[in-house]
Amino acid sequence: MTTLRFILPLLLLALTACSKSTQPVVESYPLPSVPASVTEPGERASIVCAHFWDDAQFPYPPTDSISPELEQAMANFASIAALASSRDSVAIGAAEMVRKGGSDYVMPLAERYLYYRGSPMRNEEIFLLFLQAAPDWERTPLMLPEVMQNRMGTEAPDFEFIDAKGKTGSLSRFVAERGETLVYFFDSECATCKERIPYADEAADGRAIIAVCPQNYAGSFKEAAAMFPKHWIVVRDRGTIETDELYLLPTLPSAYIIGSDMTVLAKDLLL
């Protein structure tokens, strides 16, 4: 009897502990504070990014859908990360989000906000930090090469082209003569490619523009070339863009901005 008096309270205590551990966690994503002495916006954003998820409470067990609270927290983090002056601070924040939330739960959300072409917060450089923090995610091996290809700051692949009159040239020579250039990749039989021409003209913002049909065939190229503005140079590839996969072109049209030193300044712009 004496033994039972000791055992029963212990069993009740154990059961109480188990029941508490299985209670759903209430989500919470409080913003971290920043010392008032830090006044530079980029530095303040960096501090917020590094500590953004420190006190976050992700749902446990994980749910099948993302809550509005986490959607808002992701949007806040993405917006602040774009302003941060320290890439390392953003990387710390991305890694902490993946660690706390789990890559299978967090990464589809990061992909939707930071990689989808239609997202207003699309930022491949920030998404790269999430991919690097989640090597075990099933889509990382597929997406990492895409993000790294034609990355901003890298050298733009050169290629040779021919225009509607049979004159040949190359991207490197064109850029050397014209300076910063918007390269508008299009399909000669794509109605949307023609509809987006005014938006590409606006995105060029005074830069030289060259429209490039990546397919190495004449087809309806001559007819399509006649529809572009007179100040555009319209050409078709001579056979390397597609065969050598020189540029990431998930859909057409797609636009790149190439610097005067042949570096990629903007990649796969959504026009």
| Count of the separate structural domains present in the chain | 2
Tell me the pLDDT of the chain averaged across its residues: 89
The pLDDT tens digits for 5-41 are 544 444 344 434 444 445 666 799 999 999 999 999 9
* Residue 2 belongs to a domain: no
Domain that holds residue 119: 24-148
Any domain includes 68:
yes
Looking at the predicted structure, is the pLDDT value of residue 1 above 60? no
pLDDT tens for each residue of 53-96: 999 999 987 788 899 999 999 999 999 999 999 999 999 999 99
Does the residue 258 lie in any domain? yes
3-state secondary structure at position 74: helix
In a domain, 51, yes or no: yes
- CATH number for the domain spanning 258: value is 3.40.30.10
Residue 173's pLDDT is 98
- pTM: predicted TM-score of the whole model, two decimal places: 0.83
Q: Are residues 139 and 168 in the same domain?
A: no
221: helix, strand or coil: helix
Each residue's pLDDT tens digit, 158-180:
999 998 888 999 999 999 999 99
Q: Clarify whether residues 143 and 165 are in a common domain.
A: no
Residue 17, domain member (yes or no): no
Could you tell me if 30 and 131 lie in one domain? yes
Report if residue 1 sits inside a domain: no
Q: Is residue 6 situated within a structural domain?
A: no
Starting at the edge strand that comes first in sequence, how are the strands of the sheet with 233-237 ordered?
168-170, 160-163, 233-237, 208-213, 181-185, 254-258, 264-269
| pLDDT for the residue numbered 217 | 58
